[in-house]
Amino acid sequence: MSRLDQRIAVVTGAATGIGRATALEFAREGALVIGADVDTDALAETRQAIVDIGGRAETLFLDVADEDSVTTFAAQLRETHGHIDVLFNNAGVDQEGGPLHEYPTELFDRILSVDLRGTFLVSKHLIPLMLDAGGSIINVSSMSGLAADLDRSGYNAAKGGVTNLTKAMSIDYGRHGIRANAICPGTIETPLVDSLAGSEDEASGQQFRDAQKWVTPLGRLGTPREMARVAVFLASDDSAFVTGESILADGGVMAYTWPGKMLFESGWKPAS
């Protein structure tokens, strides 16, 4: 018996990266996966990948930042399935915008509207589908929701909000048997990192990855599947008494007080 047999699991941002990997992992564990995204072409590839491993998947267009789109999505789920068991709030965007006094207000609004407001909207309209039987909500925050990055105040504000919104959900719905937890990934090799820093083939992307490996105690970036395994834990009964928690999965980056010897000892720098 797999850990998510008989469960219906919604995954937002399922077209690429952590969302696709989690959709696949949920399907491997026996769930019927409802993958949702704005990018319907890439979403179809996720669906095919699930079918190829013998899993069950449905896909639907969803713009988490648009409440009409979210209510339509919720109505479709209610009509076809009546309830859901797992909600993986993962859709997100990120972009550098400069120091706060130069940070474009439109960028701040866009990141907040997808990463934070999107998590709120999808939860607001899908929680009614969990009220009868309970379930598990997993919000994808970030280590950037626990501390800050240069030039990324919008993302830091959004993910900080997601971390605390998770606690609010756990309190509001504990008596309904709905748990809510967050995953705070470190730097994970996905298209988002390519768009922020450049791909592995580009000099800027290579430099970024080298620096990330250097500051990460485990000496490497994380993989989408490693985040997906944490999501399986939080979705399953293995975490039955865990709620309101944020789990860091960052290779140890946030374990530092400051980089200390790393700044001076050349032995630290080579990580690969």
Ligand X SMILES: NC(=O)c1ccc[n+]([C@@H]2O[C@H](COP(=O)([O-])OP(=O)(O)OC[C@H]3O[C@@H](n4cnc5c(N)ncnc54)[C@H](O)[C@@H]3O)[C@@H](O)[C@H]2O)c1
Provide, rounded to whole angstroms, the least separation between the CB of residue 74 and ligand X: 14
Of 129 and 231, the one with the shorter C-beta distance to ligand X is 231
Q: Which residues pair with 208 in a beta bridge?
A: none
Is 25 an interacting residue with respect to ligand X (CB under 6 A)? Answer: no
Is 17 an interacting residue with respect to ligand X (CB under 6 A)? Answer: yes
13 φ/ψ sector (left φ>0, alpha ψ -120 to 50, else beta): left
Stretch that binds ligand X, among 47-55, 98-106, 191-199, 236-244 (CB under 6 A): 191-199
Is 251 an interacting residue with respect to ligand X (CB under 6 A)? Answer: no
Stretch that binds ligand X, among 13-21, 25-33, 228-236, 256-264 (CB under 6 A): 13-21
Is 153 an interacting residue with respect to ligand X (CB under 6 A)? Answer: no
Q: Going by C-beta distance under 8 Å and a sequence separation of 6 or more, which residues neighbour residue 99? A: 150, 151
Footprint of ligand X on 108-127 (CB under 6 A): 114-115, 118
Residue 217 and residue 255: Cα distance in Å, rounded?
9
Distances from the Cα of 40 to the Cαs of 5, 23, 34, 59, 140, in angstroms? 26, 15, 13, 8, 21
Token reading at 181: 């937890």
Using CB under 6 A, which of 24, 57, 65, 121 touches ligand X? 65
Is 11 an interacting residue with respect to ligand X (CB under 6 A)? Answer: no
Is 154 an interacting residue with respect to ligand X (CB under 6 A)? Answer: no
* Tokens 């076809």, residue located: 80
Stretch that binds ligand X, among 86-94, 201-209, 237-245, 261-269 (CB under 6 A): 86-94
Distances from the Cα of 132 to the Cαs of 10, 82, 177, 178, in angstroms? 17, 10, 9, 10
Active-site residue flag, 256: no
Is 182 an interacting residue with respect to ligand X (CB under 6 A)? Answer: no
Stretch that binds ligand X, among 35-43, 47-55, 101-109, 201-209 (CB under 6 A): 35-43
List alpha helices for the chain, DSSP H: 17-28, 40-52, 67-80, 105-111, 117-126, 153-173, 191-197, 203-215, 224-235
* Among candidate residues 228, 166, 238, the one with its CA nearest the CA of residue 28: 228
Q: Which residue ranges make up the site for ligand X (CB under 6 A)?
A: 12-13, 15-19, 37-39, 62-65, 90-94, 114-115, 118, 140, 142, 185, 187-188, 190-193
Please give the positions annotated as active site. Answer: 155
